[in-house]
Structure 1
Amino acid sequence: MRALCLTVLLICTASFCGAETFRIATFNTELSRKGPGLLLRDIQKGTDPQLLAVAAVIVDTRPDILVLQGFDWDHGLKALGAFQSLLTSKGLSLQYSYSARPNSGLATHIDLDGDGEQNNLKDAQSFGEFTGARGIALLSKFPLTVPPVLDLTALLWKDLPSADLPLTPDGHAFLSQDALNVQRLSSTNHWAISVHLTKDTSFTLLTFQAGPPVFDGPEDRNGLRNQDELRLIEYMLSGQFGPLPDAPVVVLGGANLDPNQGEGKREAIKRLLTHPQLQDLPNLQDINTVDWPHIGQMRVDYILPGTDLTAYDAGVLWPETADHPAILASRHRLVWADISLPE
């Protein structure tokens, strides 16, 4: 009887017995290719093993709202539309979508990394082989208010209050004035988007994908930028860059930062995990979300619902067998949560 009751509870949660309950997920798919248009090509071919594995992981989890990181953006969102169709063909219809050009791969024509050269990969707004590489995409069963109610993708790093800008070892500014005038803070995007579960109920989805706090020098440019990308989330929550809709908030995405190990300013993610407006769900605490070769497992992908929301269940999809699609899909693992809006 106990097992039967548990099964009924899980079925009820997964099929959303209440109209205002939903399953949300975030997944760094690492579906980025070496050039523009190649992701669309691979989706249309229908035989790419990684793409099929990513789709299998998503369909198995059956989210109502899904944010993808590491998904190449293109004009017209053709790759995203093709991926929607792939999911639909496998029984998961997420008919609403949104994406926009990320900062990754966006050329500046300025020496941003201080190596005396211009127009190499590290002189883009953030690292990317081409404009649109490794972007963010949102798929949803429910209608979205687009464009976002708040989009800080273009915010300059220097315009963040108390921006922690990098210095040379002798204490001088690492970024030139020309660099400061163009260097954006967000490595990909920072969006707040309204999701409408019913005519009268909605919530605000606040999503991002921060850059890694490594691959720099003693100035710690990337570590400081990663920290300030997470601080921007705090400012968005406080309304400092414009009010969010009067609705519950869910923060989710990739912080590229573990609270307990690895490089980076770990206090930045600890502040988000203990933010008074957010809750770090017990089922997700201390659960790793990525397995990097030669580095190991870390927790770097997050779902943080507002404190006024109820979470029935949550988890990280780690493979139980060596042939599970999650192993081939990505080094990252899909993170999900079943959440209900307040009555």
Structure 2
Amino acid sequence: MTSKITRRGALAAAAAAGLGVPVAGTAARAAQPALGRRGEGVRIATYNASLNRATAGQLLKDLESGTDAQIRAVAQVIQMNNPDVLLVNEFDFDEEGRGADLFRSNYLEVSQNGCTPVHYPYVYSAPVNTGVPSGLDLDRDGTVGGANDAWGFGEFPGQYGMLLLSRFPILTEQVRTFQNLLWKDMPSNLLPTEFYGEEISAQLRLSSKSHWDVPVQIGTSTLHVLCAHPTPPSFDGPEKRNRRRNNDEIRLWADYLRAGKVSRWIVDDAGVAGGLDTSASFVILGDHNSDPLDGDSWPGAIDQLLKHPRIQDPRPTSTGAVEAATEQGGVNLEHGTDPRYDTADFAENPRPGNLRVDYVLPSKNLKVTDARVFWPKKGEAGSELTGEHPFPTSDHRLVRVDLRITGR
């Protein structure tokens, strides 16, 4: 049986790690980047920065050095885009919160190649399911143990974690996490019970990492930042367990935004049931590993959000993605999604091609003033930070949306 993390326990861990509270030093807003001013708007971004490492503790060592080339390049991308609220996917979690502190002090708050440093006085992170042993044979290979038998694929607990950085206060006491929510509890789920068997199916967690509802105070308004990183819909067999899980991880937020019975099945790690108030403002962030038309997703998976009645799709674009798709050719030329919306350059072989998988999706009661994918064309500023495989930063691109928040 799995243990249940209570909200009190999660908050105590966050407090011990200094998460979601101001840190020592200036909280002043950094100067605006060369990408353009945005008046009194708020810039929200998501970035799968590939700040994961093969062994536990290695990321901390790289962060301590202050000289790691990949982390410096990631920090420069963030400095050039200068978001006010940023979700970083694939940032290895550590219980003490040292990684977040070192990332800020040794990289983000240090000029990278002449860029203006950025300061985030508020941070939130929490445990994730990746690498946490289940004690069960989840991949049905006859043995127990290893990355495939963790609640979420990972070589060690916390690998591929999440980190939320903010210039605005995080209302830590109001955060809701859904790390332990069971897949079977979702009505009409796609759980392949025949593959797992009844005993395992009864214990499987829905979220491959975690799902977080993190309220951020912006002036007199509260913005609910909904963070997640659903599993890739691949690396499975004919049972399509990862495709099914990806779909249902995405569906969790779709149900969470609906009132009454539809969201009643959702119970957070503190035992509180139900979804988000229908009047709340929110933005969904993360690498959802799902393109609307291409790749291996379960049919209609990301449309559960893109076509949701409470969500608007700003459709961020870039010119670099179009250039890359044209130059790489191959399956990119067969894709249904317009390449200007692509957010990731997947270099696997065989290649799935470039896909739109990273999203910033605001509620319809917010005004969008700009939306972009940071994917410069060759020769443009920052193009050396995206590049080609092996990438100097990540195979994903930072996605950002500028919003006007009532009450700011």
Structure 2 counterpart of 1:161:
187
Structure 1 counterpart of 2:378:
321
Distance 2:366 2:406 in 1: 6
1:278 aligns with 2:298: no
* Aligned 1:23-62 pairs, distance under 5 A: 23-62=43-82
1:143 aligns with 2:197: no
Mean Cα displacement is larger for which, 141-150 or 240-249?
240-249
**Correspondent of 1:95 among 107, 121, 126:** 121
1:206 aligns with 2:226: yes
Deviation of 1:12 after TM superposition, in Å, equals 12
Which whole-Å deviations, capped at 9, do the CAs of 1:63-116 have from their partners, x for residues lacking one?
A: 000000010001111111111212122310011000011111111111111111
User: Which protein has the bigger strand share?
Assistant: 1
Which whole-Å deviations, capped at 9, do the CAs of 1:250-283 have from their partners, x for residues lacking one?
A: 1111110111111121301112111110011144
Deviation of 1:16 after TM superposition, in Å, equals 4.7
Instruction: List gaps (5 residues or longer) in structure 2.
Output: 1-31, 112-116, 267-273, 318-336
Distance 1:12 1:201 in 2: 28
Distance 1:193 1:13 in 2: 27
- Alpha-carbon RMSD across the aligned residues, in angstroms, is 2.0
Deviation of 1:13 after TM superposition, in Å, equals 10
Contact 1:308-1:342 within 8 A present in 2 as well: no
Distance 1:243 1:332 in 2: 30
Structure 2 counterpart of 1:170:
none
Instruction: List gaps (5 residues or longer) in structure 1.
Output: 1-9, 168-172
Distance 1:331 1:87 in 2: 20
Deviation of 1:196 after TM superposition, in Å, equals 0.5
**Correspondent of 2:214 among 181, 193, 198:** 193
Structure 2 counterpart of 1:128:
154
Distance 2:224 2:78 in 1: 22
Contact 1:97-1:139 within 8 A present in 2 as well: yes
**Correspondent of 2:255 among 229, 232, 235:** 235
Deviation of 1:229 after TM superposition, in Å, equals 0.5
Distance 1:15 1:319 in 2: 18
Structure 2 counterpart of 1:6:
none
Which whole-Å deviations, capped at 9, do the CAs of 1:155-193 have from their partners, x for residues lacking one?
A: 0111112111115xxxxx211233123211101111111
1:253 aligns with 2:253: no
Distance 2:227 2:373 in 1: 18
Distance 1:17 1:216 in 2: 47
Which whole-Å deviations, capped at 9, do the CAs of 1:4-25 have from their partners, x for residues lacking one?
A: xxxxxx999955533xx20010
Tell me which amino acid in the other structure corresponds to 2:285: L
Tell me which amino acid in the other structure corresponds to 1:341: I
Distance 2:218 2:372 in 1: 22
- Decide whether aligned partners of structure 1 residues 215 and 147 sit closer, same or farther in structure 2, where only a CA change above 3 A counts: farther
Matched position secondary structure for 2:359: strand
Distance 1:237 1:154 in 2: 19
**Runs of 4+ in structure 1 displaced over 6 angstroms?**
10-13
Corresponding pairs, count: 326
